[in-house]
Amino acid sequence: MEPLTEHRPVNGPLVYGFLRLVRSSPARQSALSDALVEYCRSHELVLGGLFVERGTGASARTAAFTGLLDALALPDAYAVVLPAPSHLGPRPIAAERKRQITGSTGVQLLLIRGGMKALRRAKPSSGRGPRLGIVLDAET
């Protein structure tokens, strides 16, 4: 007899996390990273990588954000997962980043706090990709 579908491993859509940490402790970074991992696990999403931005830069183009955009250009990218909208940066930078994420790449933006927000629909992907999240930490 075959096991039930719920008992088989399923490759969910491939997503990437993004954290903007300004003067955050290692414990806070760990807690936020764990929250993203748990959110992805509970929503059957595959976390392909986690991009961490540090500093208070006044530019929308940082090493971490550029890396995120590069990852979103991959064919199976489905969404970016954020703990809250504030992780995109101050309002003018956040607006530009939101435009680049949803407009240029065509992926969704998912927020853990404030519910799930899809700013633009993307084509469903096959969801094939790495199951382990990789933390890419870039100083800005």
Q: CATH number, domain at 53?
A: 3.40.50
Q: Which of 6-15, 63-72, 95-104, 121-130 has the lowest mean pLDDT?
A: 121-130
* Domain assignment of residue 14, yes or no: no
Higher pLDDT, 91 or 3: 91
* Domain assignment of residue 4, yes or no: no
* Domain assignment of residue 12, yes or no: no
Higher pLDDT, 132 or 75: 75
* Domain assignment of residue 1, yes or no: no
- pTM metric for this prediction: 0.73
Q: Is the pLDDT of residue 37 over 50?
A: yes
Contacts 24+ apart (CB under 8 A), 53-56: 53/18, 53/19, 53/20, 53/21, 53/138, 53/140, 54/21, 54/22, 54/137, 54/138, 54/139, 54/140, 55/22, 55/139, 55/140, 56/22
Distance of alpha carbon 101 from alpha carbon 79, whole angstroms: 9
Count the Cβ atoms, other than its own, within 10 Å of residue 123. 7
Higher pLDDT, 98 or 132: 98
Q: What are phi and psi of 100, to 5 degrees?
A: -65, -40
Domain that holds residue 93: 19-139
* Domain assignment of residue 81, yes or no: yes
Q: Which of 7-21, 46-60, 61-75 has the highest mean pLDDT?
A: 61-75
Distance of alpha carbon 26 from alpha carbon 54, whole angstroms: 12
* Domain assignment of residue 61, yes or no: yes
Q: Which of 59-63, 98-102, 118-122, 130-134 has the highest mean pLDDT?
A: 98-102
Query: In the chain, how many domains are there?
Result: 1
Model pLDDT, residue 10: 61
